[in-house]
Amino acid sequence: MTNGIEVNGLDGTRQKVSAEARAELDGALRGAVLSDGEDGFEEARAIWNGMVDRKPALVIRAMGTGDIRAAVNFARDHGLRMSVRAGGHQIAGLAVEEGALMLDLSQMRSVHVDPAAHTARVEPGATLGDIDCETQVHGLAVPVGVNSTTGISGLTLGGGFGWITRKYGMTIDNLLSAEIVIADGTILHVSETENPDLFWAIRGGGGNFGVVASFEFRLHPVGPEVLSGLIVHPFAEAAELLPKFRALCDTAPDELTIWSVLRKAPPLPFLPEEWHGREVLIFAACYAGDMAEGEAAMRELRALGSPIVDVIGPHPFAGWQAAFDPLLAPGARNYWKSRDFLTLGRGTIGAILDAVGQLPDPQCEVFIAHVGGAMARVASNATAFPQRDSHFTMNVHTRWDDPAKDAACIGWARDLFEATAADAAPSVYVNFMPEDEPDRLAEAYGGNLERLREIKARYDPANLFRVNHNIQPQRVTEAAQ
């Protein structure tokens, strides 16, 4: 056994991993070590964003905390660059790097609910759909995102918000503890009372500080049905309705979340066929509370304009959480640009409307989420995620299938991003950042960035965990970057 494989090194060179070293690692794992051509390799490297087509040199498929520690030790001892893949849903595609080592957590998907304690212990490869499936059996939920195929790890480590965030806070606000493997191979339990600095950092600081092997979440009574659904308006009404949407969001009770989407209408079965493929304004709403109270809270929203259809009604919460999955299926090419706004000004609305009139592909859309409520009652320095003011987040979600459209679609997103600069808040949601925005890290973390760099220097001084939206440890030398 003499042949080896070359892997990207931390020092910028290619490092040789001998066949003997690989075999020794493989024998120590519950999971497996894979390379190109072996069963499971293609599945492991394929991620949600179809623009990202990279081949790692080696994949370690972990089955438990011991495997994670073995992978971290192997990467450190051999000086290898290592990406970490959980759900593989991140827009930047940093779950996989060409020629590097990949730690694949996607097989670790267990969710254990304690209905009496209202908590859940979740493995890092679980998807949001996995969690909803188990928690909704008990009429419980944790605030997560809006696409059921998203992985819980990336969502949580970046912050996490969705339909019940205004009522119950962000995903990180409901994180009670975690088990994490840090760069020296130590397994730590983190919470408000155990390693609290590291617990603070992983609530928004991404995968910069170690590999989380499990999360413990607080659960809340939600469902099994919620009042939710879509109201679809002609695009011609958008200039009049978006300021009214803004006003409704500003005064809504915590239980009510209203978001808007502007795009060409997909062929939804409840939409008249003559509207398929035409530009529309969609209001998506969810009320996390009593149905009758929800009907009253949504009355003003439902009275706006002259909608094409209104399909607000009782829906299973788990189903509503997956309602947008068909529009976010894996494999398409995706590029995002995102901005936060404390309010939606006239100039921003005008720029969005102009852009929607020039959509480069029928799958492209502008999504505007409003967050606040319970989330906004947390101090900006209480977690690594800093943007706690009630605000709007615009995601210019550019999506297409034909590589020949790359320049047009990416250019369209960048143009709208620039056109909305004047009204933008100095912040950005790190989970919405594409790979080409390393200069926005200060926006993502604001006044928390220096503390994050200090914590990084304590737990990962050599910057082993760098294949991410990377927070450089304090005092790192240029050669080690």
Residue 38 lies in a domain: yes
474: in domain:
no
Same domain, 233 and 292: yes
Q: Which residues contact 174 (CB under 8 A, 6 or more apart)?
A: 142, 143, 168, 217, 218, 219, 220
Q: Are residues 311 and 231 in the same domain?
A: yes
Give me the pLDDT at residue 3, please.
Answer: 79
Mean pLDDT of 431-448: 95
Residue 135 covered by a domain? yes
Where does 226-285 have alpha helices with state H?
238-251
Would you say 460 and 209 are in contact if contact means Cβ atoms under 8 Å apart? Answer: yes
CATH code assigned at 62: 3.30.43.10
Which residues lie closer than 8 Å to 338 by C-beta, 6 or more apart?
A: 393, 394, 395, 396, 417, 428, 429, 432, 433
Q: How much is the average pLDDT of 177-183?
A: 98
Residue 224 has pLDDT above 70, yes or no: yes
Specify if 369 maps to a domain. yes
Q: What is the pLDDT of residues 53-85, one digit of tens each?
A: 999 999 999 999 999 999 999 999 999 999 999
DSSP string, 454-472: HHHHHH-TT----SSS--P
Q: Is the pLDDT of residue 340 over 90?
A: yes
For residue 477, tell me if it sits in a domain. Answer: no
Using DSSP, state whether 325 is helix, strand or coil: helix
**DSSP E strands, 235-332:** 256-264, 279-287, 309-310, 313-316
Query: In this structure, are residues 219 and 141 in contact, taking their beta carbons and an 8 Å threshold?
Result: yes
Cβ-proximal residues to 207 (8 Å cutoff; 6+ apart), any chain? 84, 153, 154, 157, 465, 468
Whether 455 is in a domain gets the answer: no
Q: Among the three residues 72, 104, 136, which one is the final residue of a domain in this structure?
A: 104
Contact between 76 and 185 (Cβ < 8 Å): yes
Q: What is the pLDDT of residues 94-111, one digit of tens each?
A: 999 999 999 999 999 999
pLDDT at position 73: 98
170 and 249 both lie in a single domain: no
Q: What angle do CA 102, 108, 112 make, to 5 degrees?
A: 155
Q: Is residue 415 part of a domain?
A: yes
Whether the upstream peptide bond of residue 314 has omega within 30° of 0, thus cis, is: no
User: For the segment 359-410, what is each residue's pLDDT rounded down to a tens digit?
Assistant: 999 999 999 999 999 999 999 999 999 999 999 999 999 999 999 999 999 9
Domain edge (last residue) among 48, 76, 104: 104
Helix axes 346-356, 238-251, angle to 10 degrees: 130
**Which 8-state DSSP code applies to residue 80?**
B
Query: What is the pLDDT, as a whole number, of residue 2?
Result: 52
The domain tally of the chain equals: 3
Judge if 340 and 403 occupy the same domain.
yes
Do 207 and 62 sit in the same domain of this protein?
no
Q: Which token pair is 337?
A: 């640009």
* pLDDT, tens digit, 9 for 90 and up, residues 447-480: 999 999 999 999 999 999 999 999 999 975 444 4
CATH code, domain with 359: 3.40.462.20
- Do residue 97 and residue 124 come from a single domain? no
Q: Are residues 313 and 399 in the same domain?
A: yes
Q: What is the mean pLDDT of the chain?
A: 96
Segments forming the whole domain that contains residue 78:
4-104
Which residue, among 102, 111, 103, 134, has the nearest Cα to 215 in the 3D structure? 111
321 shares a domain with 192: no
Whether residues 244 and 360 share a domain: the answer is: yes
Same domain, 285 and 346: yes
In contact, 79 and 17? CB cutoff 8 Å: no
386 and 316 in a common domain: yes
Average pLDDT estimate for 136-158: 97
Do 80 and 177 lie in one domain? The reply is no
Domain boundary among 167, 191, 221: 221
For residue 188, is it within any domain?
A: yes
CB 432 within 8 A of CB 336: yes
Q: What does DSSP assign to residue 377?
A: G
Q: In angstroms, how far is the first alpha carbon of the chain from the final one? A: 34
